[in-house]
Structure formats: structure tokens, C-alpha cells
Amino acid sequence: MLPAVSAVSERKRHARSLFAGIAADYDRWAQVLSFGQDRRWHDVMVETLAPAAGREGAVVADVATGTGAVAIALARRYPCRVVGVDQSPDMLAGARARIDAAGLGGRIELVEADAERLPLEPASVDALTHTYLLRYVDDPAAVLRTLAGAVRPGGIMASLEFGVPRGAGLHAWRLYTRVGLPLAGAAAGPGWLHTGRFLGPSIEGFWERHPLDSVLGMWADAGMERIRARRLSIGGGIVIWGVRAA
């Protein structure tokens, strides 16, 4: 059960409100506003799990599953069972509809919970993914310890986050996130207008507070090893993955 609203931080209250406003048409507009890159980034992250998720009977947790895009990609690619976790009932409603339409209801379980109070036993999953999560939590290092703790030794954890391009691409990225996204969001509807205004500053602010080397250090402190990071689309997306230490 989710905690009472009074026990939830302002950051988490904002995240719940944000996603409640865009859940109904999230999948369509996520692809439009990312120029189709969102799905490609998902695929890159899912590919990193092959050694752990590719065996028969594997269990994979997808934290911040949203409307289930990664959970569905995992179930289609690998013979695994997926547990999708998200704190937003609105996003989970969309996920349930997508999963049923894909005929994967028997292999994907959805759970309403947040990353800080993960409903998974220690070392209980073979692999774990989390997508666009760390900007919405109060203590990224603590959350990474919780997530990594759910992965069995030798299992794989992988993440996808929005990134900030370096060099010549930075100016174009700022122009798009500060001007293009709000304008496109206004066309999509009130919820997306707020999202369009929020995303650019939120992404840039996160990486200013937590540079990539710092985030990779959090992964190591959480018990992950053989950690790798890959920048995608001139740095607009970042996939990180690693192996749970014995």
C-alpha cells in the first residue's frame, strides 16, 4: 500500500501529479516528442539483460514501469516472467490495458508501489530495469541500494535516464527542451504543457547535482560491478548496466 499523502515528499507528490495528467496518451506522445528515440533506447537497455533474462524461468523486475513498454519488450524478447512496479495508478491502468492487448497478462504482473519500498525480497530477481526514475526520488543512492539488493548475485541491473548532450549538441538540446518541448506540449494538452516545461530543467538539474561519474559510484556502492554506461542519440539518453556482486 502506498504511504499517506502527508508522508510523501514534495518531489514524489509532484511526480504523481505529473504522470496522472499524461497517462492516458503517454505512449503516443512519448514517441512523438522524442522523435521515436524513446523506444530505441528501451531496446538498447533490454538487450543488456540477455545473459540473465534469456534463460527459461528467469524473473525480471521493471521498476517505474509506467505504461508497461519495457515490461512488454522484456516479455516479448525473453522467456522470462516480469514484475512491473510503479507508484502511479493512472500509469498502471494504461500498462494493464497494453499488456492485455498484447496477450501477455499471464507473464507480466503489475504492482502498485514505489522504489523506496520495493515489494521484492532480497536477491529474488534475476535482472532488474528502471527507467527515468532517479530524477523523481529524494535519495538516488539509497534507491539504487534498494534496487540492487533485489537482484541475485550474478544478476544484471540496467537503467535508462534522459541525458544532457555535450559539445555542439548541447545548444540544440537546450533550444528543444526549453522552447520546442513546451510548444509541442501545449499542442498535446494541459498535462503535456506542464511536462514540456518541466523536463529540460529537471534533466539538466539532476546531472548538475549528480554527474555521471557520481551516479556510477552510487552503482558501485550499491554492490554492482562491471558497470558500463552508453550515451545514445548524442547524449540525449544514457543506459547504465552492471552485474550484482557475489
Query: Which of 85, 69, 70, 87 has its CA nearest to residue 11?
Result: 87
Burial zone of 180 (CB within 10 Å; 0-12 exposed, 13-18 middle, 19+ buried): middle
> In angstroms, rounded to a whole number, what is the distance separating the alpha carbons of residues 156 and 237?
19
> In angstroms, rounded to a whole number, what is the distance separating the alpha carbons of residues 87 and 12?
9
pLDDT tens sequence for the chain (246 residues): 233 333 567 766 765 565 555 555 666 656 656 777 888 999 999 999 999 999 999 999 999 999 999 999 999 999 999 999 999 998 899 999 999 999 999 999 999 999 999 999 999 999 999 999 999 999 999 999 999 999 999 999 999 999 999 888 899 988 888 887 777 767 666 666 667 677 888 899 999 999 999 999 999 999 999 999 999 999 999 999 999 998
> What domains appear along the chain, each with residue ranges and CATH number?
5-244 (3.40.50.150)
Predicted confidence at residue 6, as pLDDT, reads 36
Do the bridges between strand 125-131 and strand 59-63 make them parallel or antiparallel, or are there none, so unpaired? parallel
Predicted confidence at residue 200, as pLDDT, reads 83
The single-letter code of the amino acid at 168 is A
